[in-house]
Structure formats: C-alpha cells, structure tokens
Chains A and B, each alone.
Chain A
Amino acid sequence: MKNQIRGSEREFAQINGKLEPTHVGCDIILILLLGLIFAGNLSAADVSADFSAANKLYAEGKFADAAAGYEKILQTGAQSPALLFNDANAEFKAGHLGRAIATYRQAELLAPRDAELRANLAFVRNQVQGATLRDRFWQKWFGTLTLNEGGVLTAVLFWLMCALLVARQIRPALVPKLKGVTRILVVLTLCSASILAVQTANHFSAATAVVIADNVTARSGPFDDAQSAFTVRDGAELSVLDRHDDWVQVADGAGKTGWVSKKQVEVLPGA
C-alpha cells in the first residue's frame, strides 16, 4: 500500500517535472543491487543442489555419473576447491587417473595448502606408471601461495611501503622513527615482488600437460604418422615446450621430448 502511494506520488511528480534525477538514480541502483543479490543467491542455491546430487551419486558408487554432475557445475563457470576436489575424486574412482590429476591440480591452484587435496594428489600420482614430471622444490615452495594471494600480499606490502614514504614526506620529523620499518618494508616488498614475478612467469610460461588417455604415443613430429618417440601412461605429467595446431610438444621427467595430440592431454597453467 505504501509502495503504491509512493508510486503515485512519483507519477504525479513526473508529470509536473518535479521528480529529482538523483532519486531515479538511487532507485535504479537499489533495484540493480537487489537483483544482483537475489540472482546470486538463486545461482548459489542451484549449484548447491547440483553439488549435493553429485555427492549422492558418489556415495552410491556411481562415480562416472558423479563426475559428470561436478563437470556440469564447472561448465557454468563456477568453481570452488571443494567442487574440484570432489570432481577429481570421482574421476579417480572412475579410473581416469589423468583427469583426476588435472582436476586436483586445478583445485591446488585455488587451495594450495589444502592437506587433503595434496594427500589425494600424491596418492593418485603414485598410481601413475612410467616417467612423469615432478615439481621442483622451489615450485612446491612458491606454490604454497596462490598467484592471487601472492599478488595481494605484494600489493599490501607495496601500499604500506608507499604510505610510509608519503608519511616521511609529510612529517619529516618521523623519518628517524620510521627508518627501520621503512627498510624492512622495502626489503619485504622487493622479496615479495620477486617471488610474485617468478610465480607469474611460472604460471604463464611453464604449462604442464597431463595425459588423460592410456598409452599415449608421443611422436617425433606434429603428425599422426610421425615416428613414435616414447609412450606415456594415463596420468603422466609432462612439461609443455611448444604448440602447433592440435599438437603439443612435451618433455617427460626423463628429458625425452615428443609431440602429442591435444585431445590426449589436458594443458594446465604452471603452479
């Protein structure tokens, strides 16, 4: 009733040219905000229902169906570490070592310090036969922070450092007091930025290919009839050296290189 009255008042005001534009703007923003909030809740509710349904399929031992359920959610663009973790579990139980490893690694990008995730990834990796790539120690160490966490940490340190430098300019009397803190912040910012640079370079340039088919033949050239260079098993992790059309040039942990079809591997960014 109250809304109706307010609506009538607005119509009357509009006719008389008295409705202030700022009120219109506020109303539009309010409507948009409410819309976004309700739309978000609705979407989250749908995803939650689908997630529970996939979990149920997993509990019933229908692992392939459960994996399909998780994939369906992922195809909407939504993702969470738990969703990827469960998807990887379902893939593993369905016998797809490579897909499981690829999905665990995607989850690891979001939650690198999740002990359960790392334990499952290590377990599945142990099932993989043949040569495979292993992360170097520094990659493991840097990988304890996500790229976003590293970015935010560096940005916070950088902003703090700049704030201190600004304070020193505005209040020169503070310079002696802030000297030690400024030095520490400068060193921390430089260290953090260096690590972030390495992380970023690794993320964008050190791609990894996870084999998702069994007995994949790596060939000496990007052709179907190229000579076989070596064979890799489902789940093997290979470093990506080059790409050409539908082929990816890879190197295994033993240093052998070859070309594999994109259909047989899943290419992931570096950690």
Chain B
Amino acid sequence: MADNLLGKLFLRWRIPNLKPGLAVLVVCLLALNSGAASFTASLDSDAIALGEQATLSLKFDGIQPQNAPTLPAVAGLRFQYVGPSSSFSFINGQTSSSTTYNYIVAPQHDGAFVIPGMRVDVNGQQFASLPLKLTVSKANAPSADAVNSGSEVAFLKFTIPKNRVYVGEPEVGRLDLYLRDDVQNFGNFQLTGAPTDGFSAGKTAELQNQRRRAQVGNHVYTIIPLAVPLTAVRTGALTLGPFTASAVVVLPSQNRNGDWPFNFFNQGEQKQVTLATDPVSVESLPLPEQNKPANFTGAVGDFTMTVTAGPTNVTAGDPVTVRVQIAGSGALDGVTLPAQDAWRDFKTYPPTSKLETSDQFGFQGTKTFEQIISPQNSDVHELPALTFSFFNPDDGQYHTLTQPAVPLVVKAAGTSPMPTLAATKNSAPENQPPQDILPIKENLGTLAVKSSPLIAQPAFAAAQAVPVLAFLAAFIWRKRTDNLANNPRLRRRLTVEALIQNGLGDLKKHAAANRPDEFFATLFRLLQEQLGERLDCPASAITENVIDEHAALRAAPETTLNSLRELFHLCNQARYAPVRGTSELNSVVAQFEKTLGELQEVGA
C-alpha cells in the first residue's frame, strides 16, 4: 500500500519528465511489486565486552518512516544515531526497497540488557519489532598469568602516585599502554571509558619522549605512557577507572609464505583489541579544620612567596606597585591573593594576575599578582606585612608565609594635584579581578524594552533604502540635465511643448471671451513656434510660404498641410475680417490641436 502511494507520488512528479515508454516500464515495475512491508530490529553482535560497541539496525522493508525512530531508554546503554542506509533491488521482476536506521550501542556497565520491542507508526500502519538481548561482559584487566604468558597482544595499566589525597590536591595519574614486541603498528587508539567521578580531570596526553621497552614475562613490551591530570573535588572513598580503550594493532600475517609477488602486499593482519584497567581506589581527605589560618583561601600545594614593592618614597595618594609571586607546585590556577586587612590606610586597586606554568599539566609554576595601592595620608610609614596561607598535603599541615613590612616614606600631598595612576592604564577590568565584586548600582538608569537588534528589524533595513533611492534620483536627474544641456533641439522641443500647452489654454480663454484679435495673434505665434521647432529654424522666420517651400514638410500628409494653410489663412484673414463668434473660435482651437498632433509626427 505504501509502495503504491510512493508509486503514485513518483508518477505524479516524475512522469512528465519521462519518455512515454519509460513511464510505462516504471508503471509495470511498480505494479509487479508485491512485497509485504515489514519492520525488524537486529544487533550485529549480542555479546560484547564492556568498552566495545554493538550496532543496532532498524530495518524497514517496503516502507519508509519520515524520521528515524526514537529508541526506548535502556538503563546502562547509550544509543547514538549514526544515520540511515537504503537499498533497492529488482530480481525476477520483483522490486523491493528497504531503509535501515543504524545506531551505535555503547554499554556503560556489564550485565545482561534487553532492548524492548519497538512499535512504529508509518502512514497509519503499525509495525512492531521483537525484543533484543545484549550481554555485556566485564572489561577486566588481563590476569598476571595471561600477561606473563605473553598471550596478551596489548594491555593497559593505570597507576597513581598516591591513594590518599586531600581534596584540592592535584596529582597526575599514569595510563601505560603495553604493546607486545610483535606488534608492528597500532592506531585508532580511543579511550572509551574514563570514570573519574569525584575528580576534576584534565586532558589526557602522552608523556613525550618517555616511551620505553620492558620485559614482561616471556615477552618484551613497548610501553606508551599517557598522563591523566586529576584533582580531587570531593571527599570520601573514590574510585578511578576501570579505564577502557580500544585500538587497532597490526600483527604479522599468518599467510606470509605465499608465492612472490603476492606475499609482498601481505604485510600484516589488523586486529581490534579492547583494553581495560583495574579500578583504583582513592581516599579523598577533607582539609583539616584544626589550625586553619584565618586568611586561608583554599590554596593546596607547596608554595613560596616573594614580595616586592616600589616606589617606597612617595606622596600621599601616589601609587605603589606591590608584586607578589607565588611559586611552587599545586593547584596554581585557583590560587588567589588573600584580602590584606592591614592595608586599611591604603586605597587598593584590583590586582592583576599572571600564571606561568613549567609543566604540561599546570601543576607547577609561578603565579604573579600585581596590585596598585596608594597611601591615603602621610602617617603611613610602612607597607604592612603581607601573609599567604596554604595547605601542604605532603606534611598535612597549614603553612603561612609572611613577608616583613616594607618601610615607606610618605609625604603630605599639599597642594599638588592628585597624580594620575599609571596603573589605570593597565587596569583593563577584564584582566583585573577585584577582591570582591563591586557593589550594586543605586540608579536604575534608562529602561528599555527587550527587542531584537536594530539590524534585524525590517524598518531599519528599509530605512537604508532611502539614501540609495535619493542617490538614484539625483543620478537620474543629473543625467537628464546633462542630456538636455548637450542637446539644444531636445531642449527647444521641450520648451515648445510647454509653450503650446500654455498657449492652448490661452486660446481657449480668448475663445470663451470672444477676443478674436488676441486669439489669432496667439494662434499665429504658436504656429510659428511649433513649425520653427519642427523645421529647426527661428520661429520669427516662419510664414505660410514655408509650407510649400521647406523640404521637411513634403513628407507630411496633404490634409495636414492643407490644415496648416487654412490656419495661416485664418490668421491673416482675421486682420481684415469681421469679428467671429466663440463657437467658431473653438472649432479653430480643435482644428489647431488636431493639426499639431499630426505635425508632431512629422520627422524634422
């Protein structure tokens, strides 16, 4: 049924583009299709080890859902949609098509899982699949016997320097990848699982230039060390791992004795290996409350402090730069300068900080703080002692580093203006976090209603068309003006057109008022202007004679010429003839308009 529907759609959209014969063939093919629609779910493997992945395929034969089906949630399994694949076959006159939606199934722990049967609705038809079973075995590290016997092509080992750490104490775990000596190459190494709950884990990276070889049991292994930077963020019993990984190793081929040259290309066999480590238990201890210094800000590690200040001979209000260097090993990134309560006689500015690490994990190095302070009065004689406290996890004790007071000579400010702090130049707010956030603002400021940016508003975009249109109008006007300026005949034609328009109005007024003298004077002048423009000669030179003499008028119809002659004749006659009535004058206006129209069609 669905096929028939598809067939109809196909015909509706495509047949107009097909030749008649081909269209008939397509119709026949679709008519012959008698396959039943079905929906099946399958796994490429029903038993895998933790760290490995299976592929779930949802196959639709003879039907095609609009979207990839939504999978039911299965605790402990994660599904990742890969994409669809389609196939079409034509066998013995029978056509069939199928669409398969593929998902990667990755288990999160070992055990037996059931992916429940799925129901899908395609074009109103209900389809159901059968439940699927997936058994996930533990990804155990290989036993010592297996390693010693050399049966393991590759294995993984995870170690940490200390199993008892303090919260906030950084340490670098080590993940060693062992590859047996007969492994020719390896690649596509992927950590498929790295459970580090309770720890903040940094980026896992290979320790450069530390590959080595070691004898393990009956074989020599190449050891590739990877570093896992870890910092405990939670107290209590924590577990690291099991870390799982997969890799492809290249082993010597079993079929290397073939005839030359065929064995030349048979250099090795690829093998996918799944690796796992034993879990490692770690006890994360809280920092002791006993003897905790008041100014302790959470620094954990082993540090030294160096403080310099200068200048020491200043005027009240002058800036003094205090540079504090905290060097050592530990979580340097989180080290902050404690508030110095003894600096109450100083105005302090937000400090800047710069971290320079000397190892790839950021656990060793120097953090330098620069703070600008300025003594507020001349009673200040020293920069009070500066203290910094940290917890050393090696000895389990708090330590307080104290820098002795620095003598200062502070002169009264007098009448000299307050100096501009050189430090403000470097005090870009984003680089200088203060000791605490700045207070709230008392004034609400200008309220605005949330709206989309101007650039996204159609009115704003439309407004930008105004100057463009203005420019186009000016441009066209300029072109027209220039054109007129360079074309005297055109200019005269336009002038005469305007003159005729006004003159016709005058003629009608004179006719209505029954003023024949003014009427015929105007008529004569208009005839002169129009003929002068047409014949490109001065209007004053136009008389009745030009009708017969000028070559340009010979192409005009005889009726037009006769009409012109008659109009000239009327003008001449008016000087001597008696007064005419309004109706007669109006008929002359009509004749004049008709003649003008005909005359304007005569080429100059």
On A, residues with C-beta under 8 Å from B are 44, 47-48, 51, 55, 58, 77-83, 85-86, 89-90, 92-93, 110, 115-126, 129-130, 140, 147-148, 150-152, 155, 158-159, 161-163, 165-166, 169-170, 172, 196, 200, 203-204, 219-221, 223-228, 230-231, 233, 254, 256
Contact A225 B75 (CB under 8 A): yes
* Interface pairs (5), CB distance under 8 Å: A78-B448, A79-B447, A79-B448, A121-B429, A148-B454
Given A123-B436, A225-B73, A80 contacting B447 (CB threshold 8 A) = yes
In the assembly, what is the distance between CA of A78 and CA of B444, in Å?
11
Would A225 and B74 count as touching, CB distance under 8 A? yes
Nearest chain A CB to B206's CB is how many angstroms away? 16
Min CB gap B117→A, angstroms: 19
Q: How far, in angstroms, from A12 to B78 measured CA to CA in the complex?
A: 82
Additional pairs, 4, CB under 8 Å, beyond known A90-B440, A225-B76, A227-B193? A78-B449, A119-B433, A155-B463, A170-B478
A203 with B441, Cβ < 8 A, contacts A80-B446, A122-B430, A155-B464 known: no
- Please tell me if the beta carbons of B453 and A147 are within 8 angstroms of each other in the complex: yes
Looking at B37-45, B467-475, B527-535, the stretch in contact with chain A turns out to be B467-475
In the complex, how many residue pairs between chain A and chain B have their CB atoms under 8 Å apart?
160
The 10 tightest CB contacts between A and B, nearest first, are: A162-B467, A118-B429, A169-B474, A119-B429, A123-B433, A82-B441, A86-B440, A82-B445, A226-B78, A151-B454
Residue contact A58 to B440, C-beta cutoff 8 Å: yes
Q: Contacts of A80 on B, CB cut-off 8 Å?
A: 444-448
Cβ-neighbour of A118 out of B430, B449, B460 (below 8 A): B430
Interface SS, A side = helix
* Other-chain contact of B108, A115, A123, A225 (Cβ < 8 Å): A225
Q: Does B442 contact A (CB under 8 A)?
A: yes
Say yes or no: A162-B470 contact (C-beta < 8 A), given A82-B445, A115-B429: yes
Q: Knowing A55-B442, A169-B477, A225-B76 are in contact, say whether A119-B471 is a contact too (CB < 8 A).
A: no
Please, what's the 1-or-0 string for B530-544, where 1 marks a CB less than 8 Å from any CB in chain A? 000000000000000
- B432: chain A residues at CB < 8 Å are 119, 122
B80 and A226 form a contact (CB under 8 A): yes
Report whether A147 and B454 are in contact in the complex, using a CB–CB cutoff of 8 Å.
yes
Q: List the A side residues contacting B475 at CB < 8 Å.
A: 169
Known: A47-B444, A147-B453. A227 touches B108 (CB 8 A): yes
Task: With CB as the reference atom, state the residue of chain B lying closest to A90.
Answer: B440
CA distance A219 to B106 in the complex (A): 12
CB-CB nearest in chain A for B107: A227
Q: Are B436 and A165 in contact (CB under 8 A)?
A: no
Which residues of chain B come closer than 8 Å to A121, judged between CB atoms?
A: 429-430
Query: Cβ of B200 < 8 Å from any Cβ of A?
Result: yes
Contact A48 B474 (CB under 8 A): no
Determine which of A169, A230, A233 lies in contact with B471 in the assembled complex, contact meaning CB atoms within 8 Å: A169
Count B-side interface residues using an 8 Å CB cutoff.
Answer: 57
Residue of B434, B441, B471 ringed by the most chain A CB atoms within 10 A: B441
Q: A119 vs B433: C-alpha distance in the bound complex, in angstroms?
A: 6
Query: Once the chains are docked, how many angstroms separate the CA of A18 from the CA of B491?
Result: 51
Contact present for A220 and B454 (CB under 8 Å): no
For A197, the closest partner residue in chain B by CB is B455
Measured between beta carbons, the chain B residues less than 8 angstroms from A161 are: 467
Q: How far is the CB of B181 from chain A (nearest CB, A)?
A: 33
CB closest residue in chain B, given A55: B440
Which of B430, B439, B447 meets A78, CB within 8 Å? Answer: B447
Interface residue B143 (Cβ < 8 Å from any Cβ of A) = no
Per the bound structure, the CA–CA distance linking A235 and B439 in Å amounts to: 20
**Once bound together, how far apart are the Cα atoms of A83 and B233, in whole Å?**
34
Interface residues of B in 24-60 (CB under 8 A from A): none
Q: Quick one: which of A55, A82, A221 contacts B78, CB cutoff 8 A?
A: A221
Query: A245: nearest residue on chain B (CB-CB)?
Result: B70
A152:B454 contact, CB within 8 angstroms: yes
Set B73, B429, B470: member contacting A223, Cβ < 8 A: B73
Contact B334 A151 (CB under 8 A): no
Q: A79-B448, A220-B78, A224-B73 given as contacts; is B460 within 8 A of A151 (CB)?
A: yes
The reply to whether A120 and B334 form a contact with Cβ atoms under 8 Å apart is no
Enumerate chain B residues within 8 angstroms of A221, measured Cβ to Cβ: 78-81
**B residues near A117, Cβ cutoff 8 Å:** 429
Residues in A with CB closer than 8 Å to B75 are 225
A-side contacts of B464, CB under 8 Å: 155, 158
> How far apart are the CA atoms of A124 and B478 in the complex, in Å?
61
Residues in chain B near residue A124, CB distance under 8 A: 437
Bound: A161/B233 CA distance, A: 59
- The residues of A that contact B467 with a CB separation of less than 8 Å are 158-159, 161-163, 166
Determine whether B503 belongs to the interface, using a CB cutoff of 8 Å to chain A: no
Contact A47-B447, Cβ < 8 Å, known A86-B440, A123-B434, A220-B78: yes
Within 8 Å CB of B450, what residues of A? 77-79
Shortest distance in angstroms between B460's beta carbon and chain A's nearest beta carbon? Answer: 7
Tell me whether A126 and B433 are in contact (CB under 8 A): yes
Partner of B460, one of A150, A155, A203: A155
The complex places the Cα of A225 from the Cα of B77 at a distance, in Å, of: 7
Instruction: Determine if A130 and B440 form an interchain contact, defined as CB atoms under 8 angstroms apart.
Output: no
B336: Cβ under 8 A from any A Cβ: yes
Given contacts A119-B432, A148-B453, A170-B474, whether A89 and B440 have CB atoms under 8 Å apart is yes
Q: Which of B431, B449, B454 contacts A122 (CB 8 A)?
A: B431
